[in-house]
Structures are given as structure tokens and as C-alpha cells.
Structure 1
Amino acid sequence: MNIVEPIGLSEQHDNKEPWYLPTGQEVEVFEQCHARQLAVLLKGPTGCGKTRFVEYMAWRLGRPLITIACHDDLTASDLIGRFLVRHDGTQWQDGPLTRALREGAICYLDEVVEARQDTIVVLHPLADHRRTLPIDKTGETVAAAEGFQLVVSYNPGYQRMLKDLKPSTRQRFVGLDFDFPPLDQEVQIVSQEGGVDYANAHALVSLAVRLRALRDRGLAEVPSTRLLIAAARLIDSGIDPKLACQTAIVAPLSDDPTLGSAMRDLVDAMFI
């Protein structure tokens, strides 16, 4: 069941296993963090599998998952809750973070550094030994139910020159580093998720490896595994591979004519 709200919220309660291919010992480390009530920070480039990993771990641990997409306008009230005016008076409504605490859910804040600093500070008592959330508007202090876990993610490469987490925040989390998988594993992921054969999956990943080398030539964001899967799904639907790469990989990455031309040349060379 997915519920979409203005703050960018989704909830996962079903029992279907999300497909995830481990690339190291991240599953074991996360399981131990959950067992020992440790908050987790996932670091890695856009589209490298951080969100899918959290979905998989929530399924594996049998916990509901509440995901919040962070942004500049995200306030503490959006997370904690607020009083709503109704025909019969005012009524308090828990925010997603408070609901996760009460339900013992995994609460995942995606791209947490996009949120305002005064919002991030709200997470501090949840990410250390206290595991509590004071609600000033009601005078209540909510203690985390069994199974609650706080997980946040961000892209350090993109945010390094723009925003970053303060040390007082970072040191409350166990950090897991993510990156694009090794070539053979990424081929397997693209084939599985995109529905294409090994040859097309290998060509797409090989293209991505070359395009990722363009980062130093002005490409702000390199092609993610997510983009490769989108291209693979277009190919699987019958779209010509070159056109699929143009629309699903090249066009989303840059509007610069020179970079676009260089990327199209690589596509032409890869899909002869």
C-alpha cells in the first residue's frame, strides 16, 4: 500500500520481497544495527540502490517502512505532527516520524541534507541512546516502540559543495557506504530489473562505465543504475536501443549540446 502526501511520504506494509543483490556485508551490518537499536546513515550516489536496500531490509526484518523524501520546505511539524482544525474543534495528528515511533516502523529519510537544519535537529534524540521524541505542542515525549529504526541517506558527491550534515548529526549514525556495483553485478541487476538479455544489459552497463568517466569533463551527475534499468525496460518493450539510451540516459543527464553529442557518440559506438 502506497500513500502519497504533500511532504513526499510513502509507506510499505506488504509482504512481497523487493529484489536486492548484496554487494558486500551491508545486510549483516544493517541487521546488527537494527538488533542493537543503532541509527544508520546510507551514503552514495543517486540511483545506486540505497532506497531499494532499505525496502529489502524492512521486508527481511518484517517491519513496516515509512519513507520521507526530504526537501527545503520540510518542517519539523511535517515530521512530528500538528493540530488540525475540525468542525468540532482542534485535533492532534501525528506526523510520519511520530507514527513510525509508535508503530515500531523503520523510518527512512531520503536525501536528509535537503531538509532545513532546524528540522534535522529533531532527529538527534532519536539517533542516540534516548530514542525519544519530545512533542512541545502537546507536552508528550514519545518513546520508540520495539522495532523502530531511524535510517537516513544522502549523496555526498552531489552535496559536498552545497550542503552537508553537521558532525553533531553524523556521529549519531552508523555509516554504510554505497556505490555503483561492480560491472558483473550491475549487469545482473539491469538484466533482472530491466527484463533484457545479458548482451543488452552488458552493453548498457559498459556504456555507463564510459559515461561515468565524463564526470571530470563537466557531467554533474553520472548515469545511475536506475537510469540503466529505465533504458533496459524501453529496450524490452521494443524501443530501439539507441533511442532508449538517448531518452532514458542521455537526455536526463545534461542539456549541454557538447556533452550531449559526446554521450550520443558513445551510445552509437556501443550499440552498432
Structure 2
Amino acid sequence: MINEELENKIKIFRDSYDIDPSVKDLIKKAKFPYVCEEIYKEAISSILAGKNLLLVGDKSTGKNVLVENLAYLFNRPLWTSSFHINIDAYDLIGGDTLKNGKIIFRPGPIYKAAKYGGFGVLDEINMAKNEAIAVLHEILDYRRMLEIPGYENLKLHPATRFIATMNYDYEGTRDLNEALLSRFVIIQMPIIKKDDLKLLIKSQYKNMKDEYIDNFTSFFFDLRLKAENGELLTVSPDLRSLFDSFDLIKEGLNLKNALKLTVVNKSFDEFEKKLIEDLIMTRFKDRTYYKDVFNE
């Protein structure tokens, strides 16, 4: 998937930056591989070039999976900041807190990523409000400095990268301004292809029968088509939900009950529930259990 030239450059990057022992446990292998080769190479090249990334795409396009794979590939600890209306500079950078009767500095995720050469995830960045945006402008600037009021001006570790994610049209989101966009290399995340989804399922559930790999893949794209046509408004196709259902089946739950818990019940609209249940009935037989779905 990665050519020899990129492998050599990644090795040089990894060998160039030590890991502080206190954060070594934050370097973890991703649960799922990222399967789109072209996007993977684009992201790797951007990291090597010292750029910060903005990953733009719909739900289930693998934005966070890509981030986890990149952090592990480059051997960097990972910190995540999830944006919402109440996130401010204190949540991101950190600030004063009381411990054992003394006032100390409590570092936030952006401070830690900056200090230890980590990858900082800026999740749903288009939900960030003005005070948080001001922090982002600072950390993403070419000067790579972070001001901690009352403490220090911290120079970002040379291995530090920030990777932002965003979905369009979520409630509470807004357009990013030009100044902030200019600080990123922007990758448009594609929708996973059917063949890639089959490979992903096979890589994680090696003993699943080919028939069910095909059926689960088709079911996922059935849901996506309904969502694209506006028939599903309150629930959207979600790969995590699909994989959760596999785990429940492995523990002995009936296939349809597993999909009810992980997919159907995520909608609170009765019409949508019935629509999803009809799709399940079309693709899967009643009373289907582990021995039917997986090879022993």
C-alpha cells in the first residue's frame, strides 16, 4: 500500500523524534485499517511536509480511522479535542486548577500535543466557537507557538501535527473562515467503495462467511441510498453500528436482534424504524445466529 520511498521517509521521521515515556502508552494501533490507498498516501505526504490536515466528508468516510492509522504509522501519541458550543481556551490549552492546596497548571489536549510532539485531533472543527477559533489560529500559524497566559510561550514540538475533521450540514456547524482554512491542507474524504468495505469486513472478521459479507455490505449501501434519497433523516449509515452488530452476533445474539440494537433503535421515528426493518428482512433470514454467519 505504501511504496518504498514513503516507507523510508516515514522511518526517518520516526527515528528523528523520541517519545516521552510518560505518553508512550498513548501510541496505539488502530482498531480498523484505512483502506483507501490514494487518500492514505496524500495524508502521509502532507504529514511529512509538515502540514496540518483538514479531513472533510460525510459520516462513515473513515476520518477518525485515518487519523488513528496515521498516528500509529508515525509513532506519535494522539490527543482529541471534540468541539461543541461550550469548548473554550481553558478546555483546549488548560489552565489553573487546585491540587493538594496548591494552584497548578492543568494541561489541555492541545498543550499536550504541542509539548510532546503528538497528533492533535480537532474533531468537528466547524462547531468551534469564537474563543476556540482564536486558539486554533494561534496553534496552526506558521510560527508554531502557543501562548499560555500567565505561564509561558510554548514552541510546538517539530513532530506535532493537527488534524481537523468536519462534516457538512450538521446542526450547530458553520462555515470556516478563509484565514483558518488557509492553515490546512484539505482532503475530501470519499465514500467507501463496496469492494473496500468487503475487504475491511474480511480483515476484521476473518471467519465470516462470504455470503454474509456480501449481504452486510449490500445492507449498508441500502441504508446509504435511502439516506441520499431523503427517506432516512434522523439516522444515517454508520459503519461502527454495523461492526457493533457483528460483535453482538459473536456473543450469541440473533442477527436481527443485533441489528435492532445497533441500527434500528438509533432512530426514534417509527416510519424510519419500519423502513430499516424492511431492509433487514429483505437481506437476512429469521433466526440467524453465529453458526450461520461465521465459519467455525
Same fold (TM over 0.5): yes
Partner Cα distance (2:121, 2:224) in 1 = 28
Q: Which residue of 2 aligns with 1:5?
A: none
Q: What's the offset of the Cα at 1:186? A: 0.8
When the two chains are superposed, the root-mean-square deviation of aligned CA atoms in Å is 2.3
Partner Cα distance (1:88, 1:240) in 2 = 55
Q: Which digits, 9 at most, give the CA deviation of each residue in 1:137-177, with x for residues without a partner? A: 33x22111120001111112435x84332222222111112
Partner Cα distance (2:130, 2:205) in 1 = 38
Match of 1:158 among 159, 164, 170: 170
8 Å contact 1:40–1:174 — kept in the other structure? yes
1:239 aligns with 2:250: no
Q: Which residue of 1 aligns with 2:290?
A: none
Which AA in structure 1 matches 2:184? Answer: F
Q: What's the offset of the Cα at 1:107? A: 0.7
Q: What's the offset of the Cα at 1:191? A: 3.5
8 Å contact 2:34–2:62 — kept in the other structure? no
Q: Which digits, 9 at most, give the CA deviation of each residue in 1:33-78, with x for residues without a partner? A: 2222211011122233211211111111111111222222211111
Q: Which digits, 9 at most, give the CA deviation of each residue in 1:87-106, with x for residues without a partner? A: 45422232221121111111
Partner Cα distance (1:210, 1:11) in 2 = 42
1:227 aligns with 2:237: no
Q: Which residue of 2 aligns with 1:78?
A: 91
Which AA in structure 2 matches 1:174? Answer: V
Partner Cα distance (1:21, 1:89) in 2 = 45
Partner Cα distance (1:47, 1:194) in 2 = 19
Instruction: Calculate percent identity across the aligned residue pairs.
Output: 24
8 Å contact 1:80–1:98 — kept in the other structure? yes
Q: What's the offset of the Cα at 1:271? A: 0.6
Match of 2:78 among 46, 50, 65: 65
1:105 aligns with 2:118: yes
Match of 1:248 among 250, 253, 262: 262
Partner Cα distance (1:21, 1:80) in 2 = 30
Partner Cα distance (1:50, 1:258) in 2 = 30
8 Å contact 1:125–1:133 — kept in the other structure? yes
Q: Which digits, 9 at most, give the CA deviation of each residue in 1:166-196, with x for residues without a partner? A: 2222221111122331011112223333563
Partner Cα distance (2:127, 2:45) in 1 = 28
Q: Which residue of 2 aligns with 1:203?
A: 215
Partner Cα distance (2:26, 2:173) in 1 = 35
8 Å contact 2:27–2:76 — kept in the other structure? no
Match of 2:49 among 36, 41, 47: 36
8 Å contact 1:81–1:93 — kept in the other structure? yes
8 Å contact 1:44–1:177 — kept in the other structure? yes
1:50 aligns with 2:40: no
The 1:44–1:221 alpha-carbon spacing in structure 2 relative to 1, beyond 3 Å, is farther
Q: Which digits, 9 at most, give the CA deviation of each residue in 1:211-262, with x for residues without a partner? A: 112221242442111111112222233322222222211211x211111111
1:185 aligns with 2:199: no
The 1:194–1:243 alpha-carbon spacing in structure 2 relative to 1, beyond 3 Å, is farther
Q: Which digits, 9 at most, give the CA deviation of each residue in 1:84-140, with x for residues without a partner? A: 2344542223222112111111111222223323212211122231111122333x2
Structure 1 unaligned regions, length at least 5: 1-9
SS of the aligned residue for 1:217 comes to coil
Match of 1:20 among 33, 42, 48: 33
The 1:83–1:183 alpha-carbon spacing in structure 2 relative to 1, beyond 3 Å, is same
Match of 1:175 among 177, 186, 205: 186
Match of 1:147 among 147, 159, 170: 159
Partner Cα distance (1:237, 1:28) in 2 = 37
Match of 1:114 among 103, 108, 127: 127
SS of the aligned residue for 1:47 comes to coil
Aligned residue pair count: 260
8 Å contact 1:45–1:158 — kept in the other structure? no
8 Å contact 1:108–1:151 — kept in the other structure? yes
Partner Cα distance (1:244, 1:180) in 2 = 25
Which AA in structure 2 matches 1:152? Answer: A
The 1:87–1:225 alpha-carbon spacing in structure 2 relative to 1, beyond 3 Å, is closer
